[in-house]
A and B are shown apart, each in its own frame.
Chain A
């Protein structure tokens, strides 16, 4: 029941906002719908905690500890982003970058995007995962080009073509998966692609076919995770789209795509053993982390900078999932949580920072603390958190990943350390002058909603100091599922 609400609320919001999206109260409706979704998601979590995994709708929907945790995270960040977006988009309208019609498109597509992500997370059918991932791409293409500037059109085109090609690879992988499933499970119409059925029969799946399928699925969904060398769309889309979209792309969509990869990895490990899938994830992860860390240095646009930082962190998470085992998986899940909380809060402050300065170029942003202490300190603390400074949660997860890597694959440690160190210096050097220093920029016409920033950062801080036992148990259960 709760599950239908989680899926139904954003869908209802899509239609509501498609009609009323241009009105004054549209932003409030957006917040209200997101809050209702969050409540439904919390009820779903309570139910899973109490009664264990759930399989409903002719087995088409499946909830276990792994995806319910992502559903809760998605609903939460979706809600806080909606709060942030209310004043942010008003200021954009005030600055004349948007009109009422485009705001309607924005609000409606925002909810459609949330719907697509929830379907991708909750479905039990690997084919529907694909359809939902494609729907998530399509709903955000027009959001990336919302400002209709040359650069935003270019970014949206790149996003569409690269992700379209990537996701076509994933479809081929899904076809191969179905092919292997059909041989073992028989042609039973809808059931052969159900993850629960595949998981039960994974040891009998044909290894050659599954190996090939995993390569295609990894490359396909990996494009959407932003793994190098298929990451080109990510910084452009993050920089040119409106900031709330950058926040949900980076904080949520990347996680959902990675979730799809991990579901496939579980099947692949069951069929061909842990060696090949683990190595591939580690290689892609390390390559992305190191490459992104060096690209960070060359950035001049604040949102591009943090786009590259997302690639780096997704690389680290992918690497940790590649390591496998309870500790690394635990750390990867923790890192997914703290990264999505921290990164979305950074985008919130970065968005307002560029609105204040009137540019996204970092050279033009100066003295944020002087103009608005909340924006300035929010950006500073967020950057420190994402760079893995103790006592924030990112430090805890990165520490766990590093120590596990040292124990199991010592050769990988230098690469990880280089990525972390280079990224640290690159981001810190650029953020410091933006936050401190002199500036005479005027105040914003609407007061920004920065409560979400500090709520997110407080949560990340708490996760770094003390993980509540219930939450730790939850992570452990999810880590066990992944194997």
Chain B
């Protein structure tokens, strides 16, 4: 019982780390650092999923954890690093709109997420029920990151971070989705990153930069 209590504390700590990384991502300018942060977020997700698997005694969750490790900690960051190196964008700095205000909006989103998750947490029976709010907050913060960024690569990292949040939500509310669906989601994600990789090159070929300012001509005038 005591050990189990410790595990729950540890899980909450890991979830809190995820939230912290989300905030760090919101304020990071360097694209390379963003990818590293994304890999760290994946690593924490892997740790917390394995811990839940251990706690709940579910073998299939170990598989999801392994999938997270392979896909989100190793493959995707590797692809992204290679991509920006090939695009010559690894030293890119991004000018951000007012960071303090973004942070404040982020805080409001976190509070909103906890409020929204409250009824679900009350109904849940998993050991991780308290982290549902954090998962929702991670989703919303990634969304905020996608809105505030103007670079194609960073928007994609935001998209992937949102998927991390969704994965955390699935493990904390229900101990993960059925295996077939997780595999399907992972496949979709991998294909998405490949397609976007092709896309980056097409965009740069046409616009000579990955800045999305150029992509604003289709508008209702």
Q: Which A residues form the contact surface with B (CB < 8 A)?
A: 125, 127-128, 130-131, 134-135, 138, 141-142, 145, 148-151, 153-158, 160-161, 164-165, 168, 171-172, 174-176, 178-179, 182-183, 187, 189-190, 192-193, 206, 208-209, 212, 236, 240, 295, 298
Interface contact B217-A151, CB-CB below 8 Å: yes
Known A150-B206, A236-B218; contact A190-B123, beta-carbon cutoff 8 A: no
Partner of B146, one of A141, A148, A165: A165
Known A128-B184, A164-B159; contact A172-B177, beta-carbon cutoff 8 A: no
Main secondary structure of the interface of B (DSSP, over half): helix
B1 at the interface (CB under 8 A from A): no
Q: Which of A161, A208, A212, A298 has the most CB of B within 10 A?
A: A161
Q: Which residues of B contact A157 (CB under 8 A)?
A: 152, 199, 203, 212, 215
Interface contact B119-A209, CB-CB below 8 Å: yes
Complex Cα spacing A149 to B124, Å: 50
Of the listed stretches B25-33, B47-55, B165-173, name the one at the interface; the rest are far from the partner chain: B165-173
> Besides A157-B199, A179-B124, A189-B178, 14 other CB < 8 A contacts?
A127-B177, A127-B180, A130-B181, A145-B202, A148-B202, A160-B196, A168-B139, A176-B120, A178-B170, A182-B174, A206-B123, A208-B119, A212-B119, A212-B120
Shortest Cβ distance from A236 into B: residue: B218
Of the listed stretches B5-13, B37-45, B78-86, B187-195, name the one at the interface; the rest are far from the partner chain: B187-195
Shortest Cβ distance from A299 into B: residue: B220
Q: Which residues of B contact A175 (CB under 8 A)?
A: 166, 169-170, 173-174, 177
Chain B interfacial residues counted at CB < 8 A: 49
Q: Which residues of A contact B212 (CB under 8 A)?
A: 157
Question: Closest 4 CB pairs between A and B?
Answer: A131-B184, A127-B181, A154-B215, A134-B188
Q: Which of A148, A153, A171 has the most CB of B within 10 A?
A: A171
Main secondary structure of the interface of A (DSSP, over half): helix
Interface contact B206-A161, CB-CB below 8 Å: no
Interface contact B218-A179, CB-CB below 8 Å: no
B205 smallest CB distance to A (angstroms): 8
Complex Cα spacing A151 to B202, Å: 12
B155 at the interface (CB under 8 A from A): yes
B108 smallest CB distance to A (angstroms): 19
Interface contact B178-A179, CB-CB below 8 Å: no
Interface contact B159-A165, CB-CB below 8 Å: yes
Complex Cα spacing A46 to B194, Å: 41
B77 smallest CB distance to A (angstroms): 19
B207 at the interface (CB under 8 A from A): yes
Shortest Cβ distance from A60 into B: residue: B180
Q: Which residues of B contact A212 (CB under 8 A)?
A: 116, 119-120
